[in-house]
Homo-oligomer: A and B are copies of this chain.
Amino acid sequence: MDKLAALRKLALFEDINEATLKPLLDYFVVKRFERGDSIWREGSLATHFTFVVDGTIKIAKYRNDGREVILGVFGADEVVGHVAVYNQIAYPASAVALEDVTVLEIFRGHFYGTIQRTPALLEAILKNMMERNRALVQRLHEVTVSSAEQRLALLFCKFSESMGRRVPLGDGRWGVYIEIPLSRSDLSELINVRVETAIRLMSKWNKEGPIRTEKNGFTITDPDVLLKISQSSG
């Protein structure tokens, strides 16, 4: 694993020069996690910056009644938990691997000084945090959308935009493939409904609707219908 190459892929570092990055290389540690592994837990002290290199993770808050609220799903090229690390506070939520995941970690102390001495990096982080902020506002907006079906459609529209790949459906038409290993349970948490409800919706969509469940992902067979569902006010 070429650490430098991996780092370069991260948007956060794309404008940072070699001289700044080189001395840090040795401090970075590559870690791997399997599906279901906890990358960190809510409440534990944030000591390392974490960069997702490969795979997807979810950031979630667990309530005392056992249910969880997913704050976001993050994939390759994303920085997670830096908010807590930078602020030297405990993680406000847990991070769990949704599939096999590779991350780069660097100890807070080894990175903090560099950040402060590198305005470009500070700016990049600030920008990143604002984007995260915007995403949270968006998400807040989403979870309050009235019907469960609408929220689910919205969710898939978002995935489609961020990680969709056009694929032929065989009958001459085109669909969008989303490679993300989300169980019905994961989906239910993302749209804030019970598992059964998510299952019912996906079952319906699997036979008549606009989405088909694949081996480890989903195919949107009719993007237009999906969009219409997500927008139907009511």
Contact = CB atoms under 8 A, between A and B. Distances in A.
Interface in A44-82: 61, 63-65, 69, 71
Interface string A135-170: 011111101110000000000000000000000000
Contacts of A69: 140-141, 144
Contact of A133 (B83, B123, B145, B231): B83
The majority secondary structure among interface residues of chain A is helix
A41 to B, nearest CB: 15
A141 B61 contact: yes
A17 interface: no
Contact of A93 (B64, B122, B137, B139): B137
A9 interface: no
Contacts of A123: 116
Nearest to A126: B126
Contact of A63 (B63, B86, B125, B233): B233
Contacts of A122: 119, 122, 126
A130 interface: yes
Interface in A172-228: 192
Contacts of A144: 69, 143, 192
Contacts of A132: 133
Q: 7 smallest A-B Cβ distances: which pairs?
A: A65-B233, A136-B136, A83-B130, A87-B130, A69-B144, A129-B129, A144-B192
15 contacts: A61-B141, A63-B145, A65-B233, A65-B234, A83-B130, A83-B134, A86-B126, A92-B138, A126-B126, A129-B130, A136-B140, A140-B140, A143-B143, A143-B144, A144-B192
